[in-house]
Amino acid sequence: MIGYVTVGADDIPRAERFYSAFLLPLGYSLTTGPEGLSYALPTKPGRHPAPPDFYVKPTFDGFPASAGNGSMVAFEARSQKQIRDLHAAALSAGGSDEGPPGFRAAYGPRFYVGYLRDPQGNKVALTSSDPDEPGRDG
């Protein structure tokens, strides 16, 4: 199980605009501080926190943040429409399009995804595989 995911950012307010555009509608809460941004899903009473938390922080070593080549974080959305809406919101909040929402021939018939780059260049995916929605061939 993944405990948490962290990406680096040189411009925390810019990163906050981007990530909040889609993480808050997905149900994450945001805590900010001098150490950066902390996004977490709510914890139900009597339950353990729902990992993984997602952090956006300045680099530890003080060098400029950089995006990992081949690295990507995927967030699960509730529906294909939500992916389209959140993809558009993230673009409006300073992200760049890395692949518009839709089906991909290389994946399963219900795997719907939209790809983005955050302002720092980190790749993000918004995915849904809801069996109650139309598939690629239907």
What pLDDT tens digit does each residue of the chain (138 aa) get?
678 899 999 999 999 999 999 999 999 999 999 889 999 998 888 887 777 899 999 998 999 999 888 899 999 999 999 999 999 999 999 999 999 999 998 888 999 999 999 999 999 999 998 888 988 886
Q: Report how many domains make up the chain.
A: 1
Assess if residue 138 is contained within a domain.
no
Read off the CATH number of the domain in which 92 is found: 3.10.180.10
Assess if residue 134 is contained within a domain.
no
Assess if residue 55 is contained within a domain.
yes
Assess if residue 137 is contained within a domain.
no
- Boundaries of domain holding 91: 4-128
Burial label for 105, CB within 10 Å (0-12, 13-18, 19+), is exposed
Using an 8 Å Cβ cutoff, are 103 and 128 in contact?
A: no
Using an 8 Å Cβ cutoff, are 32 and 16 in contact?
A: yes
Can you give the pLDDT at residue 138? 65
Assess if residue 60 is contained within a domain.
yes
Q: What are phi and psi of 91, to 5 degrees?
A: -65, -40
- Helix (H) / strand (E) element for 121: namely none
Among 78, 61, 63, residue whose Cα is nearest residue 27: 78
Assess if residue 40 is contained within a domain.
yes
Q: What is the DSSP string of 9-22?
A: -S-HHHHHHHHHHH
Assess if residue 135 is contained within a domain.
no
Assess if residue 136 is contained within a domain.
no
